[in-house]
Structure 1
Amino acid sequence: MSAIDPTPPLRRLTEMAHGGGCACKIPPGELEEAVAALAGQSHDSVIVGLDDGDDAAAVRVRDDLAVLSTADFFTPVVDDPFDWGRIAAANALSDIYAMGGEPVVAINLVGWPRDVLPYEMLREVLRGGLAVAQEAGCPVIGGHSVDDPEPKYGMAVTGTARPDRLLRNDAAVAGLPLTLTKPIGVGLLNNRHKSTGEVFEQAIASMTALNAEASRAALAAGVRAATDVTGFGLLGHLHKMMRASGTTARIDRAAVPLLEGAAAALADGFISGGTRRNLDWVRPHLAPADGVGEEDLLLLADAQTSGGLLVVGEVPGYPVIGEVLATGAELPAGAIAIV
């Protein structure tokens, strides 16, 4: 009688996740309701807290120095563990760059199904995270892990910035252009990857690219308002910024850059639940022009993982996708016109 191998075959990483990457975030409306009790805290040293849902907290420690703090982790967005580690690290570091800061130190955050996935795979995840952190010049020192039936990985990152040069959610000014520093569509390609196993190198390249250069270019251009585009999609993050700033925005749909293959993935129906929830949340604040259809809105609401910076102001070398407008009767604060 032949022996039976008791070791079950390894499952694809994305098969073990109910959602992929930032698409697994708690929907924005539900999240705001959950954390409402934490908002409004008053501390003299806090420059940026919870009130406007900014990318990182900022605490003044000297007149010329603010400490930034953030944490970000998520379920597997790709099957390759090294690439997942790289993507998760770039995504966590992005919050510091989105505030106009530089990362100083990071610690790992891990949930691992130790009875299902081998530690060799976890080492690859950590190695990928370290590779991107080293590219950013940010040491990774320690971390925290739990036994978890669903694999999760990310980082808590501490950075620094000048208090008078922070990039904030609430500092958008009417009359300035909107710049986007990475193409959108990774959510669609990631969902196709999860469903079919196809690998999209253009999506991996976008998600592992640091936002460091874009952040420094924005600061050099005198920008004061920015955010990064992640799980709430371009429309969700733009709405939050306009609402916090008391302004509105207009997007030129044709000017928004797309990753190769994203439009095809949309047409083939690879739309995540997170993307649909994003659109449901922001839809009451949208004013689409004639000719802007449901597929256009789903694309603009696509849940991104490690997306680019959405900047109020023109940043040389990156596309302008619209402009910030003053509020009015037809477009109240937070509204978005789409042409």
Structure 2
Amino acid sequence: MNATAPLSSVAPRLTSLSHGGGCGCKIAPGVLSQILAQSGAAGLVPPELLVGLETADDAAVYRLNDEQALVATTDFFMPIVDDPYEFGRIAATNALSDVYAMGGRPIMALALVAMPIGQLPLETIGAILRGGQDTCRAAGIPVAGGHTIDSVEPIYGLVAMGLVHPERVRRNAGARPGDVLILGKPLGVGVYSAALKKEQLSDAHYREMLASTTRLNTPGPILADLEGVHAITDVTGFGLAGHALEMARGAGATIAIDWARVPLLPGVAELAAQGFVTGASGRNWAGYGEAVALEAGLPATTQALATDPQTSGGLLVACAPEAADQVLTVFAREGFDRAAVVGEVQAGEARLRVRA
């Protein structure tokens, strides 16, 4: 299949109907902070609410009893690929990732569907929903309902719910000085999407993109059962730098990333050097770049790749050094053969250092 070919002579390319795609659609982090500050978002905080808005975590967690807590999250976006079935799979995989990132196991989902009914054939919309349903089936859960509206741009995602033991919740704020950082998936989905939008992504790289974005982050709840794992988050729209910085702020510590150890999807460095970079990458840097130190000697593309928005990206795990081999073994057993140690947590102010 040609990665950039339209689906038919009648249906428009999905990506042509949206101003952005995947997690690159996220509101820039600086703007989001201002919106939340003005919204009075804190509101009522019952004692059962174990995780809320306070550390920009991946999902809310509500204690049900001594053995169970409900993990609840939602994620939706505009198309990152033109194949409707694959768009559905990617969006669903991305939404379920936040449950896994909290250490939870998904139990059900609700579909969020907004489609330009007058522009897309009904079979195209049906294929999007079928892709999401098949991903949920692979995760062992039902799509138990949802909501649909007629929209100017195509949007699809899920409300995802899961269960976790209250003592096994893994937040993005639990990292400790001395921990090592392990990244579960290689970076570069945003770069691939930028090349796809301009019809410059090869078939081989398109297949790599699909393989990465449709791989469920199933190691999450397994890792949460390991005593040496202190924090987990998933790397999505704010890029590796943004989500590592959230982890640093939550821990009140410095995070150092060794750039040479960060795995990249095939061809991503070359594509970025050719200028295939998303607008979201620049917005990300504008939102948090003042808290990131890029050391001398790094490749010219480091800033763009560190801020590259990842749709359905990998888990970022902070664990004790003695647990690192266990963590890597779990990733490998679940099919994440490029998981790698990429840095460490250090005592110091809440900042991010990217080292050569």
Task: Flag whether TM exceeds 0.5 (same fold).
Answer: yes
Report the equivalent of 1:180.
183
Matches within 5 A, 1:1-339: 9-36=10-37, 37-39=40-42, 41-196=44-199, 198=201, 199=203, 200-220=206-226, 222-313=228-319, 314=324, 315-317=327-329, 318-327=339-348, 332-339=349-356
Question: Which segment is superposed worse, 29-38 or 213-222?
Answer: 213-222
Q: Separation in 2 of the partners of 1:163 and 1:112? A: 38
Q: Separation in 1 of the partners of 2:113 and 2:282? A: 28
TM-score (norm 2): 0.89
What amino acid maps onto 2:355 in structure 1? I
Question: Which segment is superposed worse, 286-295 or 166-175?
Answer: 286-295
Q: Separation in 2 of the partners of 1:238 and 1:86? A: 26
Q: Separation in 1 of the partners of 2:290 and 2:42? A: 24
Q: Separation in 1 of the partners of 2:151 and 2:240? A: 31
What amino acid maps onto 1:17 in structure 2? S
What amino acid maps onto 2:344 in structure 1? E
Alpha-carbon displacement from aligned partner over 1:272-309 (angstroms, at most 9, x marks no partner): 11011112222111122211254111111101000000
Conserved? CA contact 1:40–1:50, under 8 Å: no
Conserved? CA contact 1:52–1:244, under 8 Å: yes
SS in 1 for 2:225: helix
4+ residue runs of structure 1 moved beyond 6 angstroms? none
* Percentage of identical aligned residues: 45
What amino acid maps onto 2:62 in structure 1? V
Q: Separation in 1 of the partners of 2:44 and 2:176? A: 26
Q: Measured at CA, do residues 15 and 197 of structure 1 come closer, stay the same or move farther in structure 2, by a change above 3 Å?
A: farther
Q: Separation in 2 of the partners of 1:33 and 1:39? A: 14
Q: Separation in 2 of the partners of 1:217 and 1:244? A: 19
Q: Separation in 1 of the partners of 2:140 and 2:305? A: 34
Q: Give the drift of 1:209.
A: 0.1
Q: Measured at CA, do residues 337 and 264 of structure 1 come closer, stay the same or move farther in structure 2, by a change above 3 Å?
A: closer
Query: Over the residues paired in the alignment, what is the CA RMSD in angstroms?
Result: 1.6
Q: Separation in 1 of the partners of 2:300 and 2:273? A: 11
What amino acid maps onto 2:87 in structure 1? W
Q: Separation in 1 of the partners of 2:189 and 2:263? A: 12
Alpha-carbon displacement from aligned partner over 1:57-109 (angstroms, at most 9, x marks no partner): 00111022110100000000000000000000000000000000000110100
SS in 2 for 1:287: strand
Q: Separation in 2 of the partners of 1:9 and 1:104? A: 38
Q: Give the drift of 1:224.
A: 2.5
Q: Give the drift of 1:227.
A: 0.4
SS in 2 for 1:77: coil
Q: Separation in 2 of the partners of 1:335 and 1:266? A: 22
Conserved? CA contact 1:253–1:338, under 8 Å: yes
Gaps of 5+ in 2: 1-8, 330-338
Q: Separation in 1 of the partners of 2:17 and 2:35? A: 26
Q: Separation in 2 of the partners of 1:217 and 1:275? A: 29
TM-score (norm 1): 0.93
What amino acid maps onto 1:326 in structure 2? A
Gaps of 5+ in 1: 1-7
